[in-house]
Amino acid sequence: MLYINGAGSGDPEAYAIAELVDVPAFGEDSAALTFEHMARRCSSTTLHAALKGIAADESRHQLWLACLQQSLPLLTPDPEYKKRLRLFFRRLAHEDLQVHFARIFALDSAVCQLLGTVRSRCAPLAAAVNPVFAGIGRDEARHVGVARRAAGPLLGTSRGRDLVAEVREGLTHVLAHRANAFETLRVDPDRLFLRLRRMPQDGGGVGRLTLG
Ligand SMILES: [Fe+2]
Ligand SMILES: [Fe+2]
């Protein structure tokens, strides 16, 4: 097993990053399949192209994270946690595309916040971690824009805000299991979770995609 910058399995920062990378790595696979499935059943050409683009991005993220994981310490298997992660990501999917996109808006905007926070604390591992986090961050920021447009006015309603809050609450619950990893990277988990629970700014001024 290779470790970043020669770090061994005893390197707490490398292990912490491995623990944090494990969370999105688990979601990318199901995300790519879900977006492919949604693209197939969508009749709007614009949205179909957007969904296919997101599916391709998520497949690429899966690959990038898998490569990064090759350079990080192996985690102790935790089937119970895997079960919780699987449940969290599975619950994002919804037949109603606007609901689904409201949830994707909530999740991907939270991922952008997370990547930004963790990236700034990965200095010793920056050469391996930064290009991956920067690439994913760019794509996720684009997904936030697509999701915001596709969710349309729902995001401005109390139901939309509840959907966003539920996803972000759920995310902080699964991340709480990795609180020690944040502490190892000198990120205060309580403050981070508080920020993640806040309603993200929607930016406004972006047109709507037509759902079909
Ligand atoms: Fe992704
Ligand atoms: Fe995404």
- Going along the chain from its start, the domains and CATH numbers come out as 4-197 (1.20.1260)
Look at residue 212 in the predicted model and tell me its pLDDT.
Answer: 44
The alpha carbon of 125 and the centre of ligand 2 are apart by a number of angstroms equal to 24
The alpha carbon of 175 and the centre of ligand 1 are apart by a number of angstroms equal to 16
Tokens of 83: 């079960």
The pTM for the full model equals 0.88
Category of 206 on φ-ψ map: left (φ > 0), alpha (ψ -120 to 50) or beta: beta
The alpha carbon of 173 and the centre of ligand 1 are apart by a number of angstroms equal to 19
Task: For residues 164 and 88, give the distance between their C-alpha atoms in angstroms, rounded to a whole number.
Answer: 14
Segments in the chain below pLDDT 70: 1-9, 124, 201-212
Ligand located closest to 60 CA: 1
Look at residue 125 in the predicted model and tell me its pLDDT.
Answer: 73
Q: Residue 3: which of 67, 70, 75, 56 has the closest Cα?
A: 70
